[in-house]
Amino acid sequence: MAEEKKTVIYPDLDVLLEKIIEANKAGSPTDEQVFWIDLKPWQIAVKLKEEHQITVSNGLVKRKLKSMGYRYRKQSKQLATGKYANRNAQFNAIFTLILLMSLGCPLLSIDCKKKENIGNLYRSGKCYTTQPIEVLDHDYEHLSQGKVIPHGIYDLQENKGYISIGNSSETADFVLDNLLWWWWEYGIHKYTNAKYLILLCDAGGANSYRHHIFKHRLMKFAAETGLTVMVSHYPPYCSKWNPIEHRLFCHVHKAMEGVIFDKYETVQMLIANTSTKTGLKVFVRLNLKEYQKGIKVNKTDINPNRIIYHETIPELNYSITP
């Protein structure tokens, strides 16, 4: 009733509101259908009062904005920063591989989560506390007491996560050790008859498809476990589609919100407590080994007889035999 009454008293309200919005809106550089305004509802109400002597409530302005197609939204990271010519073809290759091979063999998604710092430093999020949590007013790296490098392995078949917390560097050797830990501690007991392992990973980082060292370390893994490792990299600029991001890391992030990382054992405890209504379980270990960065592996160090490049986009899809 309040909205109808104001409309009757101010018949030109919609026209005046549109003029204010038109003078204060901007458009997306990538989508001509997307616009936003730099005013809050209360600021629009103030302008109507000051410029047109019209008094309306903030609620009325909100309802008018909604009727004009405006919603209160935050930005969404959906636009890729680059393009990859075979993007759709690679997604089809991944789906086909999963459909054909996933039954009876491990299907793993791997990645390294965002790095954190140990120390009395600010972290986003909230948690229940008896008193306010006071932290340092700056987050300079030199104030930290160490790095937290969580490398994750997500088993799509079992809905289980396996995270190694490192403090050195994200390297191919770090990834190799974590895969071996998963296999000898968990995988071999679940997949007793497995001959293959499907590995889904990003295109960059320690598991980059461009670096020979990642393939070289996977050869070590295959030789030690006796598994043929079938690798599919998600196309460049498409890392958010990697299942570990939205099936494991997002839940781990929530479990760690608003808490001070005073020591590595605290991080381990928080991650281990991660769970979901769908039954996600997370196993965690500390891997505080020192890893050397910058190790070079040449193409000649890769045994060509043990790597089979698939016909479909061979740089992103290949198998490594024991």
Would you say the C-alpha torsion 28, 31, 35, 36 has a positive or negative sign?
negative
Q: Is 38 left (phi over 0), alpha (psi -120 to 50) or beta?
A: alpha
CATH 3.30.420.10 range(s) for the chain read 87-320
Query: Residues of the chain with pLDDT > 90: what percent?
Result: 46
Give the residue from 146, 231, 151, 156 showing the smallest Cα distance to 187.
156
Looking at residue 137, its pLDDT comes to 76
E strand map for 66-113? 107-112
230: left (phi over 0), alpha (psi -120 to 50) or beta: beta
- 4-12 mean pLDDT: 59
Instruction: Measure CA 286 to chain center.
Output: 21
Over the stretch 57-78, which tens digit does the pLDDT of each residue have? 888 888 888 888 888 877 666 6
CA distance 21 to 17: 6
The region of weakest confidence among 120-124, 162-166, 236-240 is 120-124
If you average pLDDT over residues 168-175, what whole number do you get? 95
Average per-residue pLDDT for the chain? 87
pLDDT at 155: 96
Give the tens place of pLDDT for each residue, 82-114: 677 788 889 888 888 888 776 779 999 999 998
Examine the pLDDT at 6 and tell me if it is beyond 50: no
Place of tokens 């992103």: 316
| CATH superfamily placement of domain 87-320 | Ribonuclease H-like superfamily/Ribonuclease H (3.30.420.10)
Task: Kindly give, in sequence order, each residue whose CB lies less than 8 Å from that of residue 111, ignoring residues fewer than 6 positions away.
Answer: 151, 152, 201, 202, 205, 207, 239, 242, 244, 245, 249
